[in-house]
C-alpha cells in the first residue's frame, strides 16, 4: 500500500518564504528518506514550481500545480496543461472548493481541466466533497457525482485520478471531520466507484484541517492532503513519520 502525503502552499507564502520552505523540506528528506511506500507531493505557487522540481524532484517528491487553464491559446493570464507537462509537473489540482466558490468554476470547467491535465500526461488531483455535514452515504453520493462530472463518465480517465476527499465544511475548520465519518464516506465512495467505473484502486486522500495523529486513525484512506499546518516543515515531518510507520 502506497501512502500519499500532499501539501499545497496556496497563496500564503512569498518567493523567499517558498524557497526557504522547499529547502527545509529537502533537509528533512535528506535526513530521513521517504522510502518506497510513501509518496510526498508538494503544490506550490506557479513561479516556484521549477525550483521545487529541481530541489525536491531528485528526492522522489512529486511536484504539482494548483490550477490549470482549460486549453492553450488566447487566454491571457492562464497557464496551459501543455506548458506544465513540459515543465515536468507530475499532478495538477482541479475542482477545489475555493476555485468553485471564489472563481465560479462549474462542473463543465472542471471536466475540461481534468481532460487537459490527463491529456498532457499529468495526474489530475480531483478535489471532491460535500458542502454541509450530513449522512456519510449522501456525502459519498455527492462525491461520486463530482467524479462522474469531472470525467464525463469515462472509466479510463477515472482510473488515472487521485481523489482528494475534502468536505467543504471541514476546510479551514478547527478540527478535521470525525475519523469515523471520513472512513464511512470513503468506504461507501470506493464501493460506488467500483460499481460505476470498475476502479476500486483509485487513491483517495483526505484533506480538511488534517494534522498529526489522524492518519493512524484512518486505515481506509490512502493518505492526507495538508494545508497551512504543513507550512511548518517540522509539522510535515511528523505526518511523514506516521506515513512511514504505516
Q: Which are the catalytic amino acids?
A: 96, 166
Distance (Å, whole) CA 169 – CA 173? 7
Q: Supply φ then ψ for residue 14, to 5 degrees.
A: -80, -175
Instruction: Please state whether beta strands 3-8 and 123-128 pair in parallel, antiparallel, or not at all (unpaired).
Output: unpaired
Stretch (H or E) spanning 197: helix 179-197
Which of 126, 86, 82, 134 is closest to 105 using CA atoms? 126
Instruction: List beta partners, residue 65.
Output: 92
Handedness of CA 70, 105, 19, 211 (dihedral sign): negative
Provide CB contacts within 8 A for 97, sequence distance 6+.
Answer: 127, 129, 166, 168, 171
Please return the burial class of 40, using the count of CB atoms within 10 Å of its CB with bins 0-12, 13-18 and 19+. Answer: buried
Amino acid at each position: 500500500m502506497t501512502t500519499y502525503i500532499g501539501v499545497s502552499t496556496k497563496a500564503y507564502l512569498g518567493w523567499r518564504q517558498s524557497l526557504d520552505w522547499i529547502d527545509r523540506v529537502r533537509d528533512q528528506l535528506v535526513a530521513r528518506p521517504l522510502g518506497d511506500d510513501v509518496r510526498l507531493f508538494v503544490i506550490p505557487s506557479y513561479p516556484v514550481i521549477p525550483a521545487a522540481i529541481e530541489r525536491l524532484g531528485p528526492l522522489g517528491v512529486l511536484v504539482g500545480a494548483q490550477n490549470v487553464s482549460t486549453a492553450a491559446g488566447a487566454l491571457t493570464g492562464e497557464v496551459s496543461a501543455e506548458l506544465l507537462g513540459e515543465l515536468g509537473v507530475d499532478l495538477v489540482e482541479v475542482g477545489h472548493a475555493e476555485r468553485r466558490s471564489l472563481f465560479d468554476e462549474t462542473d463543465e470547467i472542471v471536466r475540461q481541466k481534468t481532460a487537459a491535465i490527463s491529456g498532457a500526461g499529468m495526474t489530475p488531483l480531483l478535489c471532491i466533497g460535500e458542502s454541509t455535514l450530513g449522512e456519510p452515504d449522501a456525502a459519498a453520493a455527492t462525491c461520486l457525482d463530482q467524479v462522474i462530472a469531472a470525467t464525463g463518465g469515462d472509466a479510463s480517465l477515472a482510473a488515472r485520478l487521485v481523489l482528494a476527499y475534502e468536505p467543504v465544511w471541514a476546510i479551514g475548520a478547527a478540527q478535521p471531520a470525525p475519523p469515523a465519518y471520513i472512513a464511512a464516506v470513503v468506504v461507501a465512495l470506493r464501493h460506488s466507484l467500483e460499481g460505476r467505473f470498475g476502479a476500486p484502486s483509485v487513491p483517495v486522500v483526505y484533506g480538511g484541517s488534517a494534522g498529526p495523529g489522524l492518519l493512524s486513525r484512518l486505515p481506509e484512506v490512502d493518505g492526507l492532503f495538508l494545508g497551512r499546518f504543513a507550512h511548518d516543515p517540522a509539522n510535515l515531518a511528523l505526518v511523514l513519520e506516521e506515513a512511514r510507520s504505516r
